[in-house]
Amino acid sequence: MERIDRIILAAIKEDMPKGDITTDNIFSRKDQIEGKFIAKEKGVISGIEIAERVFSFFPNVSIVWNKKDGDIVNPTDIIGKISGSARSILKGERLALNIMQRMSGIATKTNNLVNLVSHTHCQILDTRKTTPNFRILEKMAVEHGGGRNHRFSLSDMVMIKDNHIKAAGGISEAVAKVKKKVKNSRIEVEVENLAMLQEALKEDIDIIMLDNMSIDEMKKAVELTKDKLLEASGNINEETIKEIAETGVDFVSVGALTHSYKSLDISLKF
């Protein structure tokens, strides 16, 4: 929560570096208001915990939530009720809504994809294609939508991609160099074709990423792979994900979860 608090405090400073000259000059410290968070469209709600944390930095605010993170909401649903200091609520409302709308958009997009592959064993993963410094919130939203987090950062696990392979001189060379220095870490290797897959299958690694392969290539890859997990990646969307999951891969990673979502429309009405 300390990392999230730093994000919130930086956002508050950005939004009102010298206070709120409108609110502070209309309302006194004693003025009270009440409001409702209302869903304007159907989706998966996310960011409730963070919105509450936003208002914890403003005095004399009380919130009662009717929903929790991960719940489905429909148009006109009352997500929660807020009451207390007019100054505090008006200062925090836009930041709280910005976070909830964006996190709910990610959760909704994730949930749509999860539902499309629910008849398979395939799981939906996010990527590192996130907004700088907001990754923790965006990956939290993916989980609220039913997806799973891939590595949070470059420090979490070894992931040998195309540029690593080219620079090292091949898959076996890259894996050998890593294994000399890295212990107790999962290793994932990206391959672009079946020839590279065959090379990767000879190595003591955990996961193989099938990057931008055709459906037929992925099916063949599943047939060839017995003791390693397979992850499909590359330009995956609502139109293609079902067929990809049905090839038998274990995971599908989708960068669009956190870079091409639509914010969910949520309002705060007094």
Which residues have a Cβ under 8 Å from the Cβ of 186 and sit 6 or more positions away?
Answer: 157, 158, 206, 207
Chain position carrying tokens 């009451």: 83
Exposed/middle/buried for residue 55 (C-beta within 10 Å: 0-12, 13-18, 19+):
buried
Active site includes 211? yes
Question: How many other CB atoms sit within 10 Å of the CB of residue 42?
Answer: 12
**Apex 68 CA angle, 53 and 41, nearest 5:** 105
Active site includes 161? yes
Active site includes 67? no
Which of 53, 81, 129, 219 is flagged as catalytic?
129
Among candidate residues 2, 22, 1, 11, the one with its CA nearest the CA of residue 97: 11
Six-digit token pair at 202? 């000879």
Please enumerate, as own/partner, the contacts of 176-185 that have beta carbons within 8 Å and a separation of 24 or more: 179/204, 182/158, 185/157, 185/158
Which of 77, 211, 231, 250 is flagged as catalytic?
211
Which of 69, 190, 231, 250 is flagged as catalytic?
190
Which of 94, 177, 219, 242 is flagged as catalytic?
94
**Looking at residue 126, what DSSP letter applies?**
-
Q: Convert 97-129 to b/e letters by CB count within 10 Å (16 or more is b).
A: bbbbbbbbbbbbbbbbbbebbeebebbbbbbbe
Active site includes 190? yes
CA distances from 21 to 25, 27, 48, 56 (A): 6, 11, 27, 21
Which of 161, 166, 186, 202 is flagged as catalytic?
161
Per the DSSP assignment, residues forming a β-bridge with 268 are: 37
Which residues have a Cβ under 8 Å from the Cβ of 87 and sit 6 or more positions away?
Answer: 20, 23, 24, 27, 29, 31, 58
Kindly list the catalytic residues: 94, 129, 161, 190, 211
